[in-house]
Amino acid sequence: MTDVLFPVISEAEDATGVIVTWFVESGDKVTPATLIAEVAMDKVDAEVYPETSGVITLVVEEEKEVPQGTVIAQVT
Amino acid sequence: MTTTLHSNDQSLALAIEPDAGKRKLSTAKAIQEAISQRMARDESVFVMGEDVGPYGGIFSSTTGLIDRFGPERVLDTPISESAFIGLGIGAAVEGMRPIVELMFADFFGVCMDQIYNHMAKIHYESGGNVRVPMVLMTAAGGGYSDGAQHSQCLWGTFAHLPGMKVVVPSNPYDAKGLMAAAIESDDPVVFMFHKGIMGLGWMAKNKRSIGAVPEGEYFVPIGKARVAREGTDVTIVTVSLSVHHSLDVAERLEPEGISVEVIDLRSLVPLDREAIVRSVSKTGRLIVVDEDYQSFGLSGEVIAAVAEHDPTLLKRVSRVCVPDVPIPYARELEYAVLPTPARIEAAVRDAMAT
């Protein structure tokens, strides 16, 4: 199992961001080429791709604010 | 099924409206992907406009393109719409396929001579000898308190003037296929995306702005409406963000036994009059929902299309549009004039009462 983290965008350690869009649902098969989410911090958007292939489970809901580095999904 | 949208290059055979598959994108990303794939295939395609480079377009229509194709093919321009739209027309008549972004449709005033006297008329005035294969891409629509000069749809204004195709997608799948078709068209195409369908994090959340999009290239034919939802009691003819609102209303009314058919026109020019007539022939009740100004525009044209075909088809007709006032800045006032789901629902109930 590998964790998918909210990307570290800011130099401020306690910076938080939101998941703008989940492009996949729990149970979907993903690969490192699958765009799984778009996240935003301040006005900077970032795309999230998993590091490994497998079945994804989403951990954090859309629009929820979390600190960068938080586990937002898991791939098994 | 495959075909070519223009006949001088047989290598361009692409699928037409393939199965959507499972991969999801936002509408903004779908537009980016269409442009990127056409640019990779055809060196004559390039992008130009205000903040289309490192910024990626203020509504994210061109994000990432400059990283892949560089500043020679993704050109940030000065704030002079008349100059850079003219530059695009010049490039197009010399055989290139520019995609020129006019940041807001509202800004057309300063560059309209280039658009309607040159871009739209060169093919005609040259006796058919000179083509203008250009895409004029522009952001439209309101709902986010941007005021009277940044919230207009104005697609009826462009559609009124001959010589331009006018494309108005509502979802990621159509946006990608229509953008590919627009780039490939040998005619000038005005590609108008509503900001509310782009899937942007800073706009109102809209689940229908995220959807399945094929990874490969394909065309959605320009001028062909889509039955977004089948129904038997009332026909709603609409475009863009109002398609989403109409579908929401249709879903909400279904448990009450009210069956609403929603026609997404997808383009104003050409207008798919047959699709409109076909649906109204079935339901007899027509509601046109349009976020553009009510008078002298799309809504009147859609109703005329039915009336000219057979006025006896119409048991009931109404429209839900922006009354003929500037779009207010104040949120409550803005939402009082926009074609909201509440106004659409009231129109459907009214139609069913008669």
Cα B29 from Cα B44, distance rounded (Å): 22
The strand pair at B226-229 and A44-48 is best described as unpaired
- Residue A45: pLDDT above 50? yes
**Which of B22, B23, B24 to substitute to test the interface with A, most A CBs within 10 Å?**
B24
pLDDT of residue A43: 75
Cα B109 from Cα B15, distance rounded (Å): 37
Task: Establish whether domains B2-219 and B226-352 are of one fold.
Answer: yes
CATH architecture of B2-219: 3-Layer(aba) Sandwich (3.40)
Residue A55 pLDDT grade (very low, low, confident, very high; cuts 50, 70, 90):
very high
Residue with tokens 């946006």: B175
**In this complex, which of A18, A21, A34 lies closest to B26 when CB atoms are compared?**
A21
Instruction: From chain A, pick out residues whose CB is under 8 angstroms from the CB of B25.
Output: 23, 35
Cα B50 from Cα A10, distance rounded (Å): 27
For B104-127, the pLDDT digits (tens) are 999 999 999 999 999 999 999 999
Indicate yes or no: CB of A35 within 8 angstroms of CB of B26: no
Give the start-to-end residue ranges of the domains of chain B: 2-219, 226-352
Rg for chain A, CA atoms, rounded: 12
Indicate yes or no: CB of B25 within 8 angstroms of CB of A63: no
Percent of chain A with pLDDT over 70: 100
The strand pair at A71-75 and A54-58 is best described as antiparallel
Q: How many CB atoms lie within 10 A of CB A38?
A: 25
**pTM for the structure as a whole:** 0.93
For B39-80, the pLDDT digits (tens) are 999 999 999 999 999 999 999 999 999 999 999 999 999 999
Buried b (16+ CB within 10 A) or exposed e, B131-163: bbbbbbbbbbbbbbebeeebbbbbbbbbbbbeb
Instruction: From chain B, pick out residues whose CB is under 8 angstroms from the CB of A45.
Output: 60, 63, 201
Indicate yes or no: CB of B25 within 8 angstroms of CB of A18: no
pLDDT-flagged residues of chain B (< 70): 1-12
Q: Is the peptide bond before B162 cis (omega within 30 degrees of 0)?
A: no
**Which of A45, A64, A65 to substitute to test the interface with B, most B CBs within 10 Å?**
A45
| Domain at B226-352, CATH from 2.30.40.10, 3.40.50.150, 3.40.50.920, 3.40.50.300 | 3.40.50.920
Q: Rounded mean pLDDT of A2-31?
A: 92
Instruction: From chain A, pick out residues whose CB is under 8 angstroms from the CB of B24.
Output: 23-24
pLDDT of residue B338: 98
Residue with tokens 């294969």: B133
- Tell me: ipTM over 0.90: no
Q: Could you give the domains of chain A?
A: 2-75 (2.40.50.100)
